[in-house]
Structure formats: C-alpha cells, structure tokens
Amino acid sequence: MVELEYVQCDLCGKNLTKFLFAVRSEVCPSEKFNIVKCVNCGLIYVNPRPSRSSILNYYKEEICKPAHTDGDSIRRFKAAFLKLLRDFDIWAVESFGKPPAKILDVGCGDGEYLKKLKNLGFETYGVDINPRAVEVARRKGLNVFLGELHEAKYPDNFFDVIILKDVLEHVHSPTSVLEEAFRILKPGGILKVGGPSFGVEARMSSRFWSLLNVPQHLYFFTPQTLSLLVRKAGFSIERVVHQPSGAALLKSICKMVSIEPSILEKNLYLKYTIQAPFELLSSFLCKTQLGSSAMTIIARKRGKE
C-alpha cells in the first residue's frame, strides 16, 4: 500500500497552500494527486505525496530503454538529433572547465552522457538511484554511485562542475540536494541545474500539461522559485536560459482535446509537420519571456578558487 505524506513548503517552510488542480498519475490512472501552490513564496508541488519508501512504485524501468521499434530511418533521424543536442550540451559544460576538471552528473542514468564527457578527458562521477541503470553505467567503465547524493559522502570542495539536469523535480527535498551540492562543489565551481518550467504553457494547459508526470515529479518550478532555491543554498546565479519545446506544447494540446499523442509517433513526417508551428510558438514565448517549456540555471559557488 502506498504511503502518503503531507509536507510543508521546501522553499520557505510555510504550511499555507492554495489548491490548483488534481491530476491523474499516468503510471496508476486510478490515483489522483493534488497540485498546490505555496501562498507565501509561490512554490508549486504535490501535496500529499508518496513517501520516500513508496515513490519507487511509480517508476517504470525506463532509464535503460531497449532498442526502439521504429523503422531504420526514424532511428537514424532521432539518433542524429539527440547527438546534436548532446554535443551542444557538452560544449556548454566544456566552456565552464577544461579537462581534467571533475564533473558530477546527478541522475546520470546509464551514463551515456558521462561517457562522452570522459572521452573528452574530464574526470567523471555519477549518482543514480536506479540499480539497473547504474549497472549499465559501470559496465561502461564509469564511476557511478548507487543511491542518493548525500549517501555518496563526497569530500568537501571536490568537484569543478555539478550537473542537476531533470533531477530536482523528482526529489523529496530540493533544498537538501542543493545544499549538499554546495558543500561538495569547489569555490568558483559551476552548478548547472535545469528541468521543466511552469510558465505560461503550463498555466494554459493546467492538468493537461505534458510535463506534469505526477507523482514522479513532486515539484514544478518557475524561474523565480528555482532561482530562490539556488540562492538559498548559497549559490550566485550567473544566468537563466529558457528552452522552448514545440513537442511538449503539442503534446499538451493533444491531451486537452483528447487526442492520444502516441498517434503522432507512428508517422514521423506527420508529427514534425504538425509540430513545426508549435516550435515557432514555443520559441516566441521564450524570446518574449512569457514562458518556456524548460529552463537551465547556471550558478557559481562564490569564494576563493
């Protein structure tokens, strides 16, 4: 039986919330979860939520996916597109520190990203809670810890770069994770934290927002609330990058009009033809600062390097 717990706001510690909406779990459609907003600081989160001992019941074995069943041309297209995104991301990390800088990827999955960084000459470390993913990563020769970040007990001031990509929305206490990251990051080191952004797309879509994914996602950050969390942990923010996603916007609209988004996956040409105007709309929302599908915050641990 799943154990639920009521929690206070992880950002400000207050216990006064406003109910926004309820949403069904995609993993367990018979279960609904309440999305609430802290009246004091604006943090949006699931309350009540599954306890730490219950949350893994909602996770499928998704991190190490088997080969896709798409046709060869679709696989090649996806692989090329994903490679482009990863290469850009690697370039960004490389601009923060040169090999052999120590890089920690929290929530590293099967280590595909870490392997690329290692091949570039970085000293890489990873953390993940998925045993199967960690096993695959270790077979690649990667140094990956199985468990939560605080359990790894890394030394103080150890890493040059820490990556928390699509992680904080999953954890029970983002504040605790960021404080631990601050402890183990070197003075002058870079923190890169990112994930879904609860902006205008989310507000328009409400319970149909494609990036809700409850209760795997326990928190839903705006640029303001994520910035407050990062600063609360002691970091100095250097910039906030807003990232559009026409795919996420299209999926939200499909859910709003009761169209199964997976239908588009069966026809790649149709999918990207329909998706094109949504990519433009999502980019427009980003450029006008009305909102975005995702965001990344680049922050630094100030102090003597």
Residue 134 included in any domain: yes
Residue 124 included in any domain: yes
Residue 147 included in any domain: yes
Range(s) of the domain holding residue 138 = 65-300
Q: What is the pLDDT of residue 177?
A: 98
Residue 169 included in any domain: yes
Chain centroid, CA 229 distance in Å = 15
Residue 275 included in any domain: yes
pTM for the predicted model, two decimal places: 0.84
Number of domains making up the chain: 1
Condensed to tens digits (0 to 9), the pLDDT of residues 141-188 reads 999 999 999 999 999 999 999 999 999 999 999 999 999 999 999 999
Condensed to tens digits (0 to 9), the pLDDT of residues 213-270 reads 999 999 999 999 999 999 999 999 999 988 766 677 667 777 777 777 666 666 666 6
Residue 21 included in any domain: no
CATH of residue 180 = 3.40.50.150
